[in-house]
Chain A
Amino acid sequence: METSTVGNAVATERPAVIVDAVSKHFSLKHTHSLKETFIAWTKRKPLRTEFTALNELSFTVSEGESVAVMGYNGSGKSTLLKLMSGVLRPDEGTVLTRGRVAGLIEVGAGFHPDLTGRENVYLNAAILGMQEEEVDEIFEEIVDFAEIREFLDQEVKHYSSGMFMRLAFSVAIHVHLDILLVDEILSVGDAPFREKCRIKFGEMLEKEKTMVVVSHDMEMVRELCSRGIVIKKGKLRFDGPIEEAIAYLESPAYQVEEAK
């Protein structure tokens, strides 16, 4: 593994995220009914195969640091974010976080089409861990940011997909948090809205929020992150400054299988 010293000098400070020797396995079932199971068993075929999504991954993220997690599809990036958000639990190793974690992972997952925009804002902010008074405080900001004020009391099912995404995204981005997990979301809305999002992310960086970003968009990653972690097949391949990480990802070194 090639490492640089950036981000490793954390022994004395207290990192915001600790990922310590974390492994995650999934078992893929080959049979979907009792009959298939029986047939596979008589033919002595394997019933399930173990698949290792993450393999003894270790790193820490300092407070206020913004880290990009990069790698090709299937390298385990999203699994890693899900472990940090608590949706999944590691099979081995430890994940620890300090402060409030919120994910821009699946924007709009908690929206209910039959509820109004207003009701959905409250429901989703609550799903992301906010209390009533906190939502009251940021409600106006959310609505202004999403630019849907005149449709606030309409049911969300009548929204255009752009309005829907803007509102969902606006809720997620305004939630009070210390650690933000971002998974491939900046394809939201039109150009002016994207610009607004970029500014908002910039503000978050200035406020020393910790960010972990998963993206294939190198431009966005360059702008947001100072450090890059490259993983392949669940293993850490590179950890260092963002430019070097991008260079590594595009170099032949990433393509070759890691020597055992």
Chain B
Amino acid sequence: MALVNPALHGLDTSDYSVPGKGRGLLDVFHWRFLLKLLVRKETATRYRNSALGWIWSYVRPAAQFVIFYVVLGVFLQMNRGVDNFALYLFSGIIVINFFSEGFSNGTKTLVDNAHLVRKIYLPRELFPIAAVIVSFVHFLPQMGVLLVVCLFFGWLPSVMPILAILLGLLTVLTFTLGLGMFFGSLNVPFRDAQNFVELILLFATWVSPVLYSWKMVARVVPDWAMHIYLVNPLTSAVQLFHYGFWAPVTDGAFASEFPDAFWTHAGIALLLSLITLYVGQAVFRRLEPKFAQDL
């Protein structure tokens, strides 16, 4: 390192550090104690002063399921040839729920923690990561409700569905974190980012086969467009959840209800998520030095 001060020429600077220069996502490992506390802060204060506390996290998704089941399945007869339509709907929608919450929290977290960012140096990556983990913690009860319902319908653990669930989780987690870091860092200089994210989330529920089956899309769009549709990480995660939770309790679903190149699409989708994470963190690091003065 070239120093201007002549008195310091020849100084060995190897054990010096540059204040404020982090090592990106690697720093998180060193700061995991703080990460744990930041996550606990959010989860502990969420149900402060509420008598039922965490029960609310189970009641909401359970009510959502009952509504889907009764209104869409029984009243509207919207099964459209999909067996166990309520379960199909529910296993997809919790993925979208997680994505929406994680993505929007991740985008806003730096602005919400402006008082800390401006005053104390800590690796700023911690904020979006903590936000996504918090959303994940809130997502777990929903998955728990889904699992209970699935068990009720005769779901039994087997290798491929569990693998599909894990792959789906990995895909949606990296994708959410990548997008959260990307838009979160843009949100510091341009507060428009969080409005833009709301717009994206409006589309998110509809571009993935949550309320309908992918077959309906396949009927109207050409083959090449179908591939693009299916490698969307969000679509892939939703499909993997269908594969893991809904298909095992639905007769013949494995044979007829999934596209031919299902696992290939899932692999490409995971790759796209990882690229999103890489780009998101690169943009984050690029903008990070100016966070404190732009907030």
Known: A18-B3, A18-B8, A96-B16. A114 touches B48 (CB 8 A): yes
Provide the residues of chain B in CB contact with A131, threshold 8 Å: 33
Q: Is B19 an interface residue, CB under 8 A from the partner?
A: yes
Contact of A112 with B41 in the complex, beta carbons under 8 Å: yes
Contact A97 to B122, CB < 8 A, known contacts A21-B4, A115-B45, A131-B33: no
Question: Does A97 contact B120, Cβ atoms closer than 8 Å?
Answer: no
Say which residue of A89, A93, A95, A132 sits within 8 Å of B4 (CB atoms): A93
- Interface pick from A40-48, A79-87, A145-153, A244-252: A79-87
State whether the Cβ of B119 lies closer than 8 Å to any Cβ in chain A. Answer: yes
Q: Which residues of A are found within 8 Å of B3, using beta-carbon distances?
A: 18, 20, 94
Known contacts A88-B293, A109-B116; A20/B16 CB under 8 A: no
Q: Is A26 an interface residue (CB 8 A)?
A: yes
Do B8 and A112 have beta carbons less than 8 Å apart? no
Contact across chains for A98 and B122 when beta carbons are under 8 A apart: no
Interchain CB contact under 8 A, A114 and B45: yes
Residue A159 interfacial (CB < 8 Å): no
Nearest A residue to B289, CB-CB: A89
Instruction: Select the residue from A18, A85, A86, A126 with max chain B CB neighbours within 10 A.
Output: A86
Q: Which of B1-57 contact A (CB under 8 A)?
A: 1, 3-5, 7-8, 11-13, 15-21, 31, 33-34, 37-38, 41, 44-45, 48
A122: Cβ under 8 A from any B Cβ: yes
What residue of chain B has the Cβ atom nearest to residue A58's Cβ?
B5
Chain B nearest CB, measured from A78 CB (Å): 10
Contact: B121 with A85, CB < 8 Å? yes
Instruction: Say yes or no: is A182 at the interface (Cβ < 8 Å to chain B).
Output: no
Within 8 A of A (CB), among B81-122: 115-122
Residues of A with C-beta under 8 A to B17: 96-98
Q: Chain B nearest CB: distance from A178 CB in Å?
A: 11
**Cross-interface CB contact of A89 among B7, B20, B37, cutoff 8 Å:** B20
Q: Which of B8, B34, B120, B292 has the most CB of A within 10 A?
A: B120
- Taking a contact as CB atoms under 8 Å apart, the answer to whether B5 and A127 are in contact is no
Number of B positions contacting A (CB below 8 A): 36
Contact A127 B16 (CB under 8 A): no
Among the listed A60, A86, A127, which residue makes an inter-chain contact with B21, where contact means beta carbons less than 8 Å apart?
Answer: A86
Q: Give CA–CA (A96, B116) in the complex, Å.
A: 22
Which of A60, A110, A115, A119 is close to B120, meaning CB atoms less than 8 Å apart?
Answer: A110
| Beta-carbon contact of A87 and B292 below 8 Å | yes
Cβ of A138 to closest chain B Cβ, rounded Å: 14
Instruction: Collect the chain A residues with CB atoms within 8 Å of residue B21's CB.
Output: 86, 89
Pick from A99-107, A191-199, A215-223, A227-235 the stretch touching chain B.
A99-107
Contact B120 A109 (CB under 8 A): yes
Question: What chain A residues lie within 8 Å of B292 (beta carbons)?
Answer: 82, 87-88
Least CB distance from B53 to A in Å reads 14
Q: Which residues of A contact B115 (CB under 8 A)?
A: 106, 109
Taking a contact as CB atoms under 8 Å apart, the answer to whether B5 and A106 are in contact is: no
Q: Measured between C-beta atoms, what is the minimum distance from B284 to chain A in Å?
A: 15
Most A CB contacts (10 A, CB to CB) among B19, B33, B115, B116 go to B19
How far, in angstroms, from A131 to B34 measured CA to CA in the complex? 8
B49 shortest CB reach to chain A, Å: 9
Complex CA gap A58/B6 in Å reads 11
Known contacts A109-B116, A126-B37; is-contact A26 B293 (Cβ 8 Å): yes
Whether A96 lies near B37 (C-beta < 8 A) is: no
Nearest neighbor of A25 in chain B, beta-carbon distance = B293
The interface bits of chain B over 112-153 (1 if a CB of A lies within 8 angstroms of the residue's CB, else 0) are 000111111110000000000000000000000000000000
A6-14, A68-76, A205-213: which lies at the interface: A6-14
CA distance A110 to B122 in the complex (A): 11
Known: A11-B7, A20-B8, A21-B5. A87 touches B16 (CB 8 A): no
**Is A129 positioned at the interface, with any CB of B under 8 Å from its CB?**
yes
Query: In the assembled complex, which residues on chain B have CB atoms less than 8 Å from the CB atom of A122?
Result: 37
> Taking CB as reference atom, which chain A residue is nearest B115?
A109
A83 touches B33 (CB 8 A): no
Chain B residues closer than 8 Å to A123, beta-carbon distance = 34, 37-38, 41
Q: Mark A117-129, 1 if CB is under 8 A from B, else 0.
A: 0010011001111
User: Beyond A18-B16, A115-B45, is A85–B5 a contact (Cβ under 8 Å)?
Assistant: no
Taking CB atoms, residues of chain B closer than 8 Å to A10 are 7
Query: Complex formed: what's the CA distance from A104 to B178 in Å?
Result: 34
CB distance from A49 to the nearest CB of B (A): 15
What are 18 A-B pairs with beta-carbon distances under 8 A?
A14-B11, A18-B8, A18-B16, A20-B5, A58-B4, A85-B120, A87-B118, A87-B121, A88-B292, A88-B293, A94-B1, A96-B13, A98-B17, A103-B120, A109-B120, A114-B44, A127-B34, A127-B116
Interface residues of A (CB under 8 A from B): 8, 10-11, 14-15, 18, 20-21, 26, 58, 60, 82-89, 93-98, 101, 103, 105-106, 109-110, 112, 114-115, 119, 122-123, 126-132
Minimum-distance CB pairs A-B, first 3:
A86-B20, A86-B19, A86-B121
